[in-house]
Amino acid sequence: LKTGNPFKKLNDEIFVYVAKKQREIDELKRMEQFRREFLADVSHELKTPIFAAQGFIHTLIDGAVDDEFVRDKFLAKAARSLDGLDALVKDLVALSQLETGELRMHFERVDMRQLIEEIFEQLESLARARTTSLRLKAPQGPIWVKADRQRMTQVMINLIQNAVKYGNDNGRVIVALDEDGKKHIQVSVKDDGPGIPPEHLSRIFERFYRVEKSRSKEQGGTGLGLAIVKHILNAHKSKITVLSRLEKGTEFRFKLDKE
Ligand code: ADP
């Protein structure tokens, strides 16, 4: 009769226990590191618009207010900085809720055709300012998917807005909805802009990562748009991919469950 070695069994159990605790410690360390970096990034990003607005307002107080032309220009610039701050805070709240899983998804039957047509209307003036055309390529009739309507609207606004903002003037943005087998719809947002250099492609979904910082800021970007897109799609069990060719354009793609 073999009873086994009781010491070996105990030894194995201790080994498993220590390995588990070590994994927990590593995870805590990773989270702590993430929290520290996040805080550093956030304070840096918040300081920029605050300093800018402060600068304009103090210059006005110091006398620039007397010159009507300078006054109007500086007030407009201060307002723009504060609008940027507002957008940043809103995006930060959304992102932090998404990251902690606090933001509950409300899945329902959504007609993607209608959702996109509404967004096109919303973005009409931005597209007109860039003389860019917005086109939807999709089969006839409603295209039902299972999604959180509000969050999916945010995803599509971020992607279409980026396509217009970073595309060329007189550009063309095409949103395509295609059947992908029996169960999925493929969504694609494509522009004919300058494209994203390959060395940046894998990083554009990171928070605050921008290929051209000045261009992004000038366009009112917070650097959080694609990070938010990735998280929302993740909550839809979907993954976004990007294809880009320099001087040809960029295409973002993902799949949604049909409903
Ligand atoms: P931002 O607020 O800066 O637009 P995003 O997270 O939405 O932040 O995008 C990150 C960066 O990816 C942008 O700053 C831009 O450099 C690049 N980018 C995003 N979409 C496109 C696109 N369609 N064409 C070229 N570059 C893009």
Q: What percent of the chain has pLDDT over 70?
A: 99
Checking DSSP bridges between strand 172-180 and strand 133-137, what pairing results, if any? parallel
Amino acid in the structure at residue 211: V
Q: Whose CA is nearest to atom 24 of ligand 1?
A: 166
**pLDDT-based confidence at 54, cuts 50/70/90?**
very high
**pLDDT-based confidence at 178, cuts 50/70/90?**
very high
- Of 231, 236, 235, 230, nearest to 256 (Cα)? 236
- pLDDT at 3 (0 to 100): 64
Token pair recorded at residue 87: 């957008």
88 half-sphere exposure, CB direction, 13 A CA radius? 24
Please state, in angstroms and rounded to a whole number, the distance separating the CA atoms of residues 145 and 148. Answer: 10
Phi and psi, residue 15, nearest 5°: -60, -45
Most confident of 91-105, 183-197, 216-230: 183-197
Q: Cα of 76 to ligand 1 centre, how many Å?
A: 25
Q: What does the pLDDT average to over 168-186? A: 96
Checking DSSP bridges between strand 184-191 and strand 241-245, what pairing results, if any? unpaired
pLDDT, tens digit, 9 for 90 and up, residues 137-172:
999 999 999 999 999 999 999 999 999 999 999 999
Q: Which of 132, 210, 228, 232 to mutate to test the pocket of ligand 1 (most atoms within 8 A of CB)?
A: 210
Is the distance from CB of 235 to CB of 105 less than 8 angstroms?
yes
- Of 233, 226, 205, nearest to 145 (Cα)? 233
pLDDT at 71 over 70: yes
pLDDT at 173 over 90: yes
Q: Is the CB of 171 under 6 A from ligand 1?
A: no
pLDDT, tens digit, 9 for 90 and up, residues 39-51:
899 999 999 999 9
Q: Is the CB of 204 under 6 A from ligand 1?
A: yes
**pLDDT-based confidence at 38, cuts 50/70/90?**
confident
Q: Which of 88, 204, 247, 251 to mutate to test the pocket of ligand 1 (most atoms within 8 A of CB)?
A: 204
Is the distance from CB of 103 to CB of 228 less than 8 angstroms?
no
Q: Whose CA is nearest to atom 2 of ligand 1?
A: 221
